[in-house]
Amino acid sequence: MFDGDDIRVWIMARAGSWRAIVNNVAALRSQRQATVDEALNAVEAYRGLARDLATARRVVPNSRTTAGLESLYRQIHTLISRRPQGGWETIRSALCLDIPKVTRELRVPILSMALLMGVSALAGWWLIATFPTLIGMFASEDMIEHVEQGHLWTEGLINVVPSSMLSIGILANNITVSVMAFCAGIFLGLGTLYLIAMNGLMLGASFAFVHQHGLACALFEFIIAHGPVELSVICIAGASGVALGESIIRPTGLSRRDSFQACAHRIGPLLLLCAGLLIGCGLIEGFISPDPGFPMASRVTIGAAYWLIMWSLLTGRLFVKRIAE
Amino acid sequence: MSEQQLRVQSLTGVDLTLKIAGPGTRSYAFVIDWHIRLLLACVWLLVAAVAQVKITWRTHDGLISVLPAAIIYFLYHPVVEVMTRGQTPGKRMAGVRILGRDGGQPSTTALLLRNVFRLIDSLPATYLVGLTTCFLTRQRVRLGDIAAGTLLVLDNAAAEASLLRIELLAANSKLSLDALELIDQVLERWDSLESANRARVARSLLSRLDPKEDAANLAHLSDAKLRDMLQAHLGSDAAVNHV
């Protein structure tokens, strides 16, 4: 058993080593990389500190000494388990391996989301074609007024708002919608299904409405450059959200929480790529789509080329080929 | 509310104890960060205005005035959390930091994920979903933390200072460790305690440390004298820090 004097002797004997560890931890925390020797010293200090902490918990529980050792032990534990700085290699690995893998896994949900969006769009079209007065549910009064006067609401947009600001507004909105479609998956996937169905319904309703006023071709011309990627990304985000919901309903890990967490981590890089693609969509929608100077052929080319780039990124073909070479 | 703790197994066999921050500390850190990002965004707008950049929608000038301010305001949390590995200035001031559930440093993906889920946590307003989840979960986490596998833990930097100080105390005094730490804490908080309360605590401590001390005599001692007597028990070198 330890008595008062033993504890004093023990503290005096170990205090020097604690002081050294406090200084080492402060130094290691401030530097991004450590040498092998520094890392080995930290591991050795970690072991020593574990022994001291176990002793302190037994002989002086609830003391400031034990609290100090707990704090130091936690800090050195965090330092030792620090992940290496991946940098470009991490991004490369995500593009070559992680994203293509998760895209393959989500193939069926992506197609299902595309189908849901297509069916919802048809339903929206039918709804407005049958009951034209219901367009007020899907479009603002401004938009309806524009179309009834024979103009698309997108006409002259760049005369009102500069392209740069327009792009920022659009890409911020698109990213919010996509991220929301993913996050809404937490409500057992139902939130995602609702968002995708509503987007499809609005798309179909808008097309039916402009078709009634002979402007369907103009709207198609407006969206063809950015639409394919934008709609695809929304479907991918929706599929990710559904997978998130499924991970809660049918957990694959130890618990629903673990399963949800693992699914979110697996899908994370794909979502980041989607955000990047939506930035591109926003730029096209702000600078190219509303500009009447771009003929239909160039819009189709841009739309198709951008979609192919997206497909190559999702399947990993763009980078895997280069690595093989 | 009692302090929440999480025990994490480590390679050494000695469990790691993480003190989990509650909704109050979490909100406190958020409010500080919110003020910082609002202030930074406003400063940028002010700088742009002073530089006579017109903030109008009809010119391209909005791009260099409104856009950076919006970026500062909306991307503050993800960018600063990734750069500082989970300790924004607000969290630092509130004495908390983000850690993984294994006690390790969170990855960039984890930090970005917990920020992506702010969209849901902030619904319908004022982070109601996030706060409700914090109150309902055992580890006081919001949905973003559940998705990312992170925790907000108390980061007690002062604890290490006391660890260094205990060596000095143990070398200069023959008192037991409990008594030393108690006297040290009382002296440390001396100025923040009410005069009557600290005198009562000091008398109680002194009578226990030296049972021969006359209680009536102690009752007549002044505040400064009581403090001096406590400092004398710590030894001359250790007491210097409290003068």
Q: What is the ipTM of this complex?
A: 0.81
A291 to chain B nearest CA, in Å? 16
Partners of A21 on chain B (C-beta within 8 Å) are none
Q: Select from A12, A47, A184 the Cβ nearest to the Cβ of B171.
A: A12
CB contact under 8 A, B102 and A81: yes
At residue B120, the pLDDT reads 85
CB of A279 within 8 Å of a chain B CB? The answer is no
Q: What is the mean pLDDT of residues A135-144?
A: 82
Q: What is the mean pLDDT of residues A178-186?
A: 83
Least confident of A141-150, B147-156, B213-222, B233-242: B233-242
CB of A209 within 8 Å of a chain B CB? The answer is no
Partners of A77 on chain B (C-beta within 8 Å) are 10, 16, 103-104
Partners of B171 on chain A (C-beta within 8 Å) are 12
Partners of B14 on chain A (C-beta within 8 Å) are 50-51, 53-54, 73
Cβ of B190: how many Cβ atoms within 10 Å? 18
At residue A163, the pLDDT reads 66
Least confident of A86-100, A151-165, A250-264, B216-230: A151-165
CB contact under 8 A, A186 and B120: yes
* First-to-final CA distance of chain B: 35
């560890």: which residue's tokens?
Answer: A21
At residue A323, the pLDDT reads 54
Least confident of A6-10, A156-160, B30-34, B143-147: A156-160
Q: What is the mean pLDDT of residues A40-50?
A: 91
CB contact under 8 A, A165 and B103: no
Chain-centroid distance, C-alpha A256:
21
At residue A2, the pLDDT reads 55
Residues of chain A numbered 66-85 and touching chain B (CB < 8 Å): 67-75, 77-78, 81-83
B195 to chain A nearest CA, in Å? 25
Residue B240 banded pLDDT, cuts 50, 70, 90: very low
CB contact under 8 A, A60 and B178: yes
Partners of B60 on chain A (C-beta within 8 Å) are 162, 164-165
* Cα B138 from Cα B145, distance rounded (Å): 13
* Cα B114 from Cα B34, distance rounded (Å): 17
Q: Per-residue pLDDT for B72 more than 70?
A: yes
At residue B32, the pLDDT reads 95
Q: Per-residue pLDDT for B243 more than 50?
A: no
Partners of B162 on chain A (C-beta within 8 Å) are 64-65, 67-68
Helical segments of chain A, H only: 4-30, 36-59, 64-80, 88-93, 99-105, 107-130, 141-148, 157-160, 163-183, 190-212, 216-223, 227-249, 256-287, 296-315, 317-324
Q: What is the mean pLDDT of residues B145-167?
A: 83
Side chain identity, residue A183? C
